[in-house]
Amino acid sequence: MKKVIQHLQKTALLAGGFLFLSTGILFAQDKARQIEDLLNKYHEYGQFNGSVLVADDGEVIFSDGFGMANMEYDIPNQPDTKHRLGSITKQFTAALILQLVEQGKLELDKPISTYLPDYKGPAADVVTIHHLLTHSSGIPSYTSFPGFFQEQSRDPSSPEEFVKTFSDSTLQFTPGERFSYNNSGYFLLGHIIEEVTGKTYEQVLQENIFTPLNMNDTGYDHHETILKNRASGYEKNGGGYVNAPYLDMSLPYAGGSLYSTVEDLFKWDRALYNNEVLSEKSKKLMFTPHIASGNSHYGYGWSLDKLPIGQSRDSVPIVVHGGGINGFNTLIVRFPEEEDLVVLLNNTGGTRLNDIAMGITNILHGAEAEMPRKSLAMEVLPVFSKDGVEAGLARYKELKADDTYALNEPEMNQVGYRLLQNGKIKEAIEVFRINVEEFPDSWNTYDSLGEAYMVDGQKDKAIINYEKSIEMNPENENGKKMLAKIRTK
């Protein structure tokens, strides 16, 4: 009898374990189905085209591709499609710097001149490695220089030569005083890595991170290299797409020149948890909220924030970074307490990856995901372009009353610039004016409207809007330069 009871107890225990395991699988399958439904809708509305991976409690529950990696040959996006990462590159640069600190080859509180004695200018002796890592150096970001994308972005340059384009720039503020996102700082970090190691930035990445972690589908992107499964970059043009403008990848460098896949970024995520890349001490430095960045904080190569869940006030801690580079925008979100992960790699330029990540986050935490709505901005573009201001305004008012459409500030801004570039100045002004009315708390809407008025020769209105933009965002250096230009004419 005793053996029978023990057998029944053991059977019940096994059955309970099997039931628990089955329930867990069903939960994961349900989450995966919801994530797929959400992404299908975003893709249907032209708001996502790329590769996705989602991990729940350290295990991949969803990995897929949507739309085309190459539209000319109808090659679909897959989990192993290689996308340009843009500024997600910065976390790898930060990791290399921390490795060199661990090896005693760098000190975080030493200035640039310690490691780059030929670097001259206001920053050389006062800006430290820490300042560069946290975007608190005060050095102007070269990507914000007027004419950079039109005049310089296609031309290759060595790190030694390119740093000269911003080394003599006046500091925008006292180093360490505040946060100001800065590609120049991470470019300098890459140059410092090369000087300290005697190797190229690319070689150090490969030897210290990619090869040890078997990240075989990740690397420094070179235009001339034949790279299997490489996604092409596109940008929206009204209801369609065009090939993204060429960018020489020597210029994003340590701030944005890597490519990878969602699968390799999962390996990177797991390696950070398992201390395969950095010691616990270095990892703590990387994920310390060193400086306030708006409503969040910045560590070393990562932003640290909290994400609200559903309709409740509950929120979960995240470490996150996005990237944007010609034809691509990207997002990686880590949930350190749950070991969840969301990776979104999109190859059709700027789209609403934050909204997608928010929806997936809700699903992972048992809340309902808000489904996307159609883009009002992209719907009105061809009307303004072909039929003029009155027809465009009428269509705008019609769609604004339709709940299936939503107005998005960056998309509307993009529409305005598309019209401006095509010589539709009056139409562009109207679109930018709508954006100001709908998003009055955004400095960028006033900046864009000011530019349209300037192109139209309406100096007084241009000055009013540029002044408003600068009042709202004192760091709007381009706005200051444009305002000065108007006043000297």
Cα distance between the two ends of the chain: 102
Contacts of 132 (CB under 8 A, 6+ apart): 112, 185, 186, 188, 189
pLDDT digits (tens, 9 = 90+) for 202-259: 999 999 999 999 999 999 999 999 999 999 999 987 678 999 999 999 999 999 999 9
* pLDDT at 10 (0 to 100): 52
* pLDDT at 146 (0 to 100): 76
User: Which of the four pLDDT bands, split at 50, 70 and 90, describes residue 16?
Assistant: low
Mean pLDDT (the chain, rounded): 92
DSSP code of residue 251: T
Contact 51, 264 (CB under 8 A): no
Instruction: Kindly list the distances between the CA atom of residue 276 and the CA atoms of 185, 288, 338, in Å, as whole numbers in the listed order.
Output: 26, 19, 19
Residue 8 has pLDDT above 50, yes or no: no
- Please tell me which residue, 343 or 477, carries the higher pLDDT value: 343
Residue 364 has pLDDT above 90, yes or no: yes
CA 154, CA 253: separation in Å to the nearest integer?
13
Contact 234, 327 (CB under 8 A): yes
Residue 392 has pLDDT above 60, yes or no: yes
User: Which of the four pLDDT bands, split at 50, 70 and 90, describes residue 438?
Assistant: very high
Q: What percent of the chain has pLDDT over 70?
A: 94
In the numeric block, which tokens belong to residue 72?
Answer: 């000319």
pLDDT digits (tens, 9 = 90+) for 240-256: 899 999 999 999 999 99
- Catalogue all structural domains in the chain, each as residue range(s) with its CATH number: 86-364 (3.40.710.10), 374-488 (1.25.40.10)
Can you tell me the mean pLDDT for 125-142?
96
CA 293, CA 302: separation in Å to the nearest integer?
11
* pLDDT at 1 (0 to 100): 46
* pLDDT at 145 (0 to 100): 82
Angle, CA 44 vertex, CA 67 and CA 387 arms, to 5°: 110
Q: Which of 77-81, 155-159, 249-253, 264-268 has the lowest mean pLDDT?
A: 155-159
pLDDT digits (tens, 9 = 90+) for 294-336: 889 999 999 999 988 877 668 899 999 999 999 999 999 999 9
Residue 2 has pLDDT above 60, yes or no: no
* pLDDT at 236 (0 to 100): 83
φ, ψ dihedrals at 253, nearest 5°: 50, -130
CA 477, CA 188: separation in Å to the nearest integer?
21
* pLDDT at 24 (0 to 100): 56
Contacts of 385 (CB under 8 A, 6+ apart): 238, 418, 419, 422, 424, 427
Instruction: Identify the H or E element spanning 234.
Output: strand 234-237
Residue 312 CB burial class (10 angstroms; 0-12, 13-18, ≥19): exposed
Q: Where are the alpha helices (DSSP H) in 305-388?
A: 353-364, 376-387
